[in-house]
Structure 1
Amino acid sequence: MSAVMPAQLPPGPAERTVYSYGVRAGDQLHISGMVAFDSDANIVGEGDIEAQAEQVFKNLQAVVEEAGGTINNIVSTTTYLADVTDAPVVNAARSRYFTGEVLPTHTVIGVAALARPQFLVEISAVAYLGDLSKD
C-alpha cells in the first residue's frame, strides 16, 4: 500500500485528522472524501454549491492523477450533500468530468452536516488503476 498526497491539496487537514488523500492498494485507489479546499486550505465557494462542486472534482482529479491515472479510472463515487436539493448542480459538474464510455457508479447521501458548516458537498471515490484494455 502507498499513500497518495498530491501537492495541489493542502497537507494540514490530512495531518491534523490523520488520513491520506488517497491510498493505493495494488490496482485500486481509495480516495478520501474530497471537499472544496484549495491548495492553501481555503474553502472555495463558501455558500456556492456550484463552485464547491467544481473544486471537489478538481481535487478528486488531482488525487487520481497523482496515482498515475485519470478521472476516467474512477469506478465508484459516494456524494454527501448537506442539502439534497443541490444534487442537480453537483450532477452538472459531474457530467463535465466523467465523460468516458463507462461512467462510475454513483451514490448520493443527504447528511445533517459535514466536517465544517461551510462545506456543502463531499465526494469519496474508488479508482481502478490496472490495465483497462484487458478488462
Structure 2
Amino acid sequence: MNTTPTSAVTSVMPSQLPAGPAERTVYSYGVRAGDDLHISGMVAFDSEANIVGEGDIEAQTEQVFRNLQAVVEEAGGTINDIVSTTTYLTNVADAPVISAARARYFTGAVLPTHTVIGVAALARPQFLLEISAVAYLGPR
C-alpha cells in the first residue's frame, strides 16, 4: 500500500545504478512526485558505471530497459506502470531494436506512449540510445 502523501517529492536512486554519474552531473535517476515517477534518461551503464555493449545496439537496449526497470521497482512499481517514454537514438535505423525490446518488457494491458527522436550525439560518444520515462504509481 502506498502511504506516501500526494504532495511528497522524493529522489529514487536504486543501488543497481552507479551513484557517480548522477552525483557528478547533479540529478536523480528518478523523482517521485505523489503518484507520478519521472525517470531520467537511462543509458547503458552497469552498476559500476561501465558502458555495456559499446557499439552493440541490442546489448545497450537491454541494459537501458534493465535500468528503467530498476528505477520503477525501487519506487515500488513495475515496468508496466510506465505510461510514457521518450527514446533518443543516434541512428534512427535502430528503432526496430527498441520496438522489439518494448514488446518484451511492456506487456501490460495499456502500453506506454512512445516518442523517438534522432540525435547527433548523447552524453558520451559510446552511447547509442537513451530512454526517459514517466510512470504512474497510483491506485489501479
Matched, 1:50 2:50: no
Q: Please, which of 107, 132, 138 is the counterpart of residue 130 of structure 1?
A: 138
Matched, 1:117 2:129: no
Secondary structure at the residue paired with 1:99? coil
CA apart distance, 1:108: 0.2
Which residue type is aligned with residue 36 of structure 2?
Answer: Q
For residues 59-74 of structure 1, what are the structure 2 equivalents within 5 Å?
Answer: 59-74=67-82
For the aligned residue pairs, the C-alpha RMSD in angstroms reads: 0.3
Secondary structure at the residue paired with 1:124? strand
* TM-score normalized with structure 2 length: 0.94
Using the alignment, how far apart are the partners of 2:57 and 2:107 within structure 1?
Answer: 21
Q: Which residue of 1 aligns with 2:5?
A: none
- Percent sequence identity is 85
Q: Deviations over 1:69-123 (max 9, x none)?
A: 0001000000000000000011111111001110000000000000000000000
Secondary structure at the residue paired with 1:80? strand
Matched, 1:90 2:102: no
Which residue type is aligned with residue 34 of structure 1?
Answer: M
Secondary structure at the residue paired with 2:132? strand
Q: Which runs of 4 or more aligned residues in structure 1 lie more than 4 Å from their structure 2 counterparts after TM superposition?
A: none
Give unmatched runs, 5+ long, in structure 1: none
Secondary structure at the residue paired with 2:95? helix
Matched pairs, number: 132
CA apart distance, 1:8: 0.2
Q: Deviations over 1:23-54 (max 9, x none)?
A: 00000000000000000000000000000000
